[in-house]
Structure 1
């Protein structure tokens, strides 16, 4: 059975949450108050995380599929589990498309997007075949590098005198309504509500003591980081340019010029985005394949290959990147609360009122290592 440590869990939460978030100007509808929208969404996301952790503590040896069965019975639980498998696959597909688009825009402008996206899906499938434990070790190494790199870029932005605090003023010029409208449900759904995927991971902790504390600290740290990054984009570019920019943070870094020799650092931002996107798409890919394997009760690698094929094929459905971003930011996030809020809330109520002398939990298939055993 694969196991991960609490430190690996914390590093995974941090790098997963950073993920593709710097790609987008989140909360830009609130203009200079976008950071307040991020703050409001982060607080709401924290309450969601506390609810997730409460549910998990009541059945620490079950993943999301097992929890759904426990709360709603086999038939409804399996049906809802199947919808979560599709949801995780869709989230992975979106990150695959982001990876392909960013690569063709910034680095490999002449390389067919199909080739780039095929390579990243194959690499993700390889990581899953090696097992989530090995993947978490990689994330454990990468996260400090990513944090240090972002910190260095922020210092260079300040050193280049690009920051103007006046661009954050006036605060709440039009009252709290635009802030709340920008925060709910859009920013809550992306990125903070996506922590629902960790229902699939908590079961694999070999030491479950204080895992709630570790999760809260990791979440709070990365939420603060994302709020500060949002403020930085706004202080450098202003509300108008941030809203019109394809990748706001990348455009801000392109303005760095220190001592007439340190400039054009956008390649580092691109590499950081690649790391975040890869971790996020692989995590969602693993959760989808792992959940499908548990639902089918199979140890076959066909679940990995089948889910990967679906993710790769559906990543071409959107005609262009503009439509892809619009669909994600304006449409999809309106439906994500079903998986991130509504169903977990129903699970919370079911767990809360579950009788202490109820029948023993349903016997699950020994699926802790369904996707990794055949790679040994």
Structure 2
């Protein structure tokens, strides 16, 4: 693999991927005022999961998740598993596109068909990815600081809201620990933290393989802390009841900002964050799918694969749900428990156990 990416570039790309669409949704809403605690516990649990991902990549530093599978479980058994992972990557990219399209057409482009919004975005996405992982990494260096700056500006603006009150976060653990754990497992540990399994498709491109674990753990910690802080601000403005009933609670909270009855409607900042976040999210999934397909079918040129993926993801994003509510229900009620849990938790743990045994029995050929 000639193309290389630095540890910092990979951190920017995957941290942006982790925030992606998660910043905008009311994650952990069932835990009421303890939604931010759901993120913290999910983050700490996900450090173990990232330990599994990074250990596998340290065992096979020159292999992606897809190319290490035949070495661990054998050539024929690995084929169906690889195909399922490819479907997972493509479907996840389509879901992120749908989130993006729904927000755009419900806020600033109300009369615009959603297919046009998603299609235009995918054209730009594929154009960037055709430049290779180095181009994607450099774009990450440019886009991630804009994302973080937008986020900080929004937090500062939320302080000015008249209803802002940290008392909305009390009583801490008022409903006990059970609602928090019900939200963490399986939802939050899988979305957004477990989705960082996509890093295993990027690790072989790192110019310094020794920092695999450092980058992986940094992404989980940084992403978790920023998400928790974000939900603390949103809950302080909206309170747990409004937080739980809003499709996009961050957008709703930002719309309450009014400085001297003059500076209002900061929706554009949210849109900027969403575009940046979905850039990382869709880019990560699409890149992972293209590399997986090229390695499975031994295709050297991924540019044609990316074009095919672009034309597939756009209509798929519209077919996955008749409306936004159904789209979210399918995600959390079916996709997370039946796809995310096996592919992002169970399979990697089994793979690590088998790889560990192989290393112990036959270190040279493992």
TM range (shorter): over 0.9
Q: Deviations over 1:77-113 (max 9, x none)?
A: 2221111111000100001111211111111111111
Per the alignment, residue 307 of structure 1 pairs with: 309
Moved more, 176-185 or 210-219: 210-219
For 1:157-176, list aligned pairs within 5 A: 157-176=158-177
SS, match of residue 22 in structure 1: coil
Whole-angstrom CA distance in 1 between matches of 2:43 and 2:28: 12
Whole-angstrom CA distance in 2 between matches of 1:214 and 1:287: 18
Does structure 1 residue 81 correspond to structure 2 residue 82?
Answer: yes
Kindly indicate whether the alpha-carbon contact (under 8 Å) linking 1:96 and 1:117 is maintained by their aligned counterparts in 2: yes
Kindly indicate whether the alpha-carbon contact (under 8 Å) linking 2:234 and 2:243 is maintained by their aligned counterparts in 1: yes
Whole-angstrom CA distance in 2 between matches of 1:128 and 1:234: 37
Structure 1 residue ranges, 4+ long, deviating more than 6 angstroms after superposition: none
Q: How far did 1:358 drift? A: 5.0
Q: How far did 1:19 drift? A: 0.4
Q: How far did 1:126 drift? A: 1.3
Q: Structure 1 unaligned runs (5+)?
A: 362-376
Does structure 1 residue 246 correspond to structure 2 residue 247?
Answer: yes
Per the alignment, residue 360 of structure 1 pairs with: 365
Whole-angstrom CA distance in 1 between matches of 2:253 and 2:175: 27
Moved more, 257-266 or 137-146: 257-266
Per the alignment, residue 185 of structure 2 pairs with: 184
Per the alignment, residue 52 of structure 1 pairs with: 53
Per the alignment, residue 276 of structure 1 pairs with: 277
Q: Structure 2 unaligned runs (5+)?
A: none
Per the alignment, residue 324 of structure 2 pairs with: 321
Q: Deviations over 1:90-143 (max 9, x none)?
A: 100001111211111111111111111111122222122111210110111111
RMSD: 1.5
Whole-angstrom CA distance in 1 between matches of 2:114 and 2:291: 27
Does structure 1 residue 125 correspond to structure 2 residue 126?
Answer: yes
Q: How far did 1:161 drift? A: 4.2
Kindly indicate whether the alpha-carbon contact (under 8 Å) linking 1:92 and 1:280 is maintained by their aligned counterparts in 2: yes
How many positions carry a matched residue from both structures? 361
Whole-angstrom CA distance in 2 between matches of 1:330 and 1:112: 27
Kindly indicate whether the alpha-carbon contact (under 8 Å) linking 2:14 and 2:284 is maintained by their aligned counterparts in 1: no
TM-score normalized by structure 2? 0.95
SS, match of residue 147 in structure 1: helix
Kindly indicate whether the alpha-carbon contact (under 8 Å) linking 1:18 and 1:226 is maintained by their aligned counterparts in 2: yes
Per the alignment, residue 333 of structure 2 pairs with: 330
Per the alignment, residue 365 of structure 1 pairs with: none
Moved more, 204-213 or 290-299: 204-213
SS, match of residue 35 in structure 1: helix
For 1:32-43, list aligned pairs within 5 A: 32-43=33-44
